[in-house]
Amino acid sequence: MKVLFVYPQYPDTFWSFKHALKFISKKAAFPPLGLLTIAAMLPQEWEKKVVDMNVSKLKDKHIKWADYVFISAMITQKESVKEVVERCNNLGTKVVAGGPVFTTGYEEFDGIDHFVLGEAEAILPLFLEDLRNGCAKPIYESDERPDISKTPIPLWNLIKHKHYASLPIQYSRGCPCDCEFCDIIIMNGRVPRTKTTSQLLREVHAIYRTGFRESVFIVDDNFIGNKAKVKAMLPKLIRWQNKAKNPFALFTEASLNLADDNELMDLMVEAGFDKVFVGLETPAEESLAECNKFQNENRDMVAAVKTIQNHGMEVLGGFIVGFDSDPETIFDSQINFIQNIGVATAMVGILTALPKTRLYNRLKQEGRLLKGSSGNNTDASINFIPKMDTEVIIKGYQRILQTIYSPKTYYERINTFLAEYKPSTKKRRKIRFIQIRGLFSSIWYLGIVGGKRRYYWGFMTRAFIKHRRAFPEAMTLAVYGHHFRKIVESVQKAPVPK
């Protein structure tokens, strides 16, 4: 059996980092972890190839080679998915589809021979058994939450690692929080399930054996969902990193209550974590209560973020406008909030109703749902009827982005972060060639040929003099700013309903 794994193309989004990747000669931020893991679950004797359309073109000869094309995608890749399926249909190659966009909305897609919906460990074996027996059904579906301690190591040999800025690993699935707008608990449940410590270390070592020495992204939706297990695992990860001479900088996602646990933050930093994404959402208490963001309610979020920064981790933040409870002052409040906490990488989006979430179901029941979500809450689209005027929300949203990513304001925010950031003295990794390349690229693109050069040079000079230990982080954030400004340009062009 010959199987071609296809990962569809992402549009140009906040998290694509498309405009920053050229500074370090990379083609994509991350490879398709799900498909590489599925590849390891298929019979060893099957022939397997991967085409990630974010790094290379999908050619007809690739599709013709395969007996089956396996495809997985996020909602933002929906349009590319449809194009790939149409090409497979035209060339007579059967398609097997699974992953988030299908699990929450497979009814939207035509031309797919077999849907495998839910977590693969629970449902894939049944599909493979039927396939072997020549009686495979159109739809396989399971809401079982399987034990992931037997999930195999991804087949890293199927990709070219040099194309990617980071490689991903999954340690756990599920999140104990219950945010109304989030679809994670729909797909992975509220009870976090973890891999074993030895299993995680084997996966880390598998990446090490490839020769890759850049950052590793632990893709858990809430890495600290089960604090006890994480605390038991981290000392062994620390020992592995020390023995291997700290080859990887790590980053992940976590809830804001991370700031309440000094021991956990210290362990994470010692293990090599230098970044963490946190859903901060909004400074409006009423809106936090509305979306059931209980972990952020009734706390000083500015102080919490600074606590994490003080421990040596940069906080990347998610922010949302468009809640029913938002006052019309929310746009200025968000700008001030983001600037005060020094979150340089601030993903601000308009609330979107993702399929099957509690928000989606509520809005549908209220007759306020307009269309499906694009999956990209930073494209200035709204898929429901908001309480606030739609034009006010979109124009206010555009003003937030235009303000926080203008060079002057953006560099001021990085300086606020650097004043709080205390990078670990124990885990400072050697300056890598990729960072040197990035520095010279930034000097050329931002300091010589780019606009607003004086802000760049003022920032870089200050960072070198006052924050030399954190200079690599400062340089990286300067490069990210170029990407974010490109995204802002596209958002400003979005049509505003009258």
pLDDT at 449 over 80: no
In CATH terms, the fold of domain 165-419 is TIM Barrel (3.20.20)
Query: What average pLDDT does the segment 400-428 reach?
Result: 90
Q: What was the pLDDT predicted at 428? A: 58
pLDDT in tens, 31-48: 999 999 999 999 999 999
Share of the chain above pLDDT 90, in %: 82
Cα 229 from Cα 31, distance rounded (Å): 27
In the chain, which segments carry CATH 3.40.50.280? 2-141
Query: What average pLDDT does the segment 284-303 reach?
Result: 96
Share of the chain above pLDDT 70, in %: 97
Q: What was the pLDDT predicted at 125? A: 96
Taking CB atoms within 8 Å and a gap of at least 24, the contacts of 126-135 are 127/96, 128/42, 128/43
Q: What was the pLDDT predicted at 318? A: 96
Where does the pLDDT of residue 442 fall: very low under 50, low under 70, confident under 90, or very high at 90 and above? confident
Query: What average pLDDT does the segment 397-423 reach?
Result: 95
Q: What was the pLDDT predicted at 363? A: 97
pLDDT at 429 over 60: no
Q: Answer with the residue of higher pLDDT: 203 or 492.
A: 203
Q: What was the pLDDT predicted at 493? A: 80
Query: What average pLDDT does the segment 3-19 reach?
Result: 92
Where does the pLDDT of residue 498 fall: very low under 50, low under 70, confident under 90, or very high at 90 and above? low
pLDDT at 431 over 70: no
In the chain, which segments carry CATH 3.20.20.70? 165-419
pLDDT in tens, 108-157: 999 999 999 999 999 999 999 999 999 999 999 999 999 999 999 999 99
Query: What average pLDDT does the segment 217-235 reach?
Result: 97
Q: Answer with the residue of higher pLDDT: 46 or 437.
A: 46
Query: What average pLDDT does the segment 296-304 reach?
Result: 96
pLDDT in tens, 75-92: 999 999 999 999 999 999
pLDDT at 407 over 90: yes
SS3 sequence of 117-179: ECCHHHHHHHHHHHHHCCCCCCEEECCCCCCHHHCCCCCHHHCCHHHECEEEECCEECCCCCC
Cα 283 from Cα 280, distance rounded (Å): 8
Strands 172-173, 114-117: pairing kind: unpaired
Query: What average pLDDT does the segment 390-401 reach?
Result: 96
pLDDT at 17 over 90: no
Where does the pLDDT of residue 495 fall: very low under 50, low under 70, confident under 90, or very high at 90 and above? confident
Tell me the one-letter amino acid at 370: L
Could you tell me the CATH superfamily of domain 2-141? Cobalamin-binding domain (3.40.50.280)
pLDDT at 454 over 70: yes
Q: What was the pLDDT predicted at 403? A: 97
Where does the pLDDT of residue 436 fall: very low under 50, low under 70, confident under 90, or very high at 90 and above? confident
**b/e per residue 332-344 (b: at least 16 CB within 10 A):** ebbbebbbebbbb
Q: What was the pLDDT predicted at 443? A: 83
SS3 sequence of 355-422: CCCHHHHHHHHCCCECCCCCCCCCCCCCCECCCCCHHHHHHHHHHHHHHHCCHHHHHHHHHHHHHHCC
Instruction: Calculate the average pLDDT of the chain.
Output: 93
Q: What was the pLDDT predicted at 446? A: 85
**Helix/strand/coil percent split, the chain, to 5:** 50, 15, 40
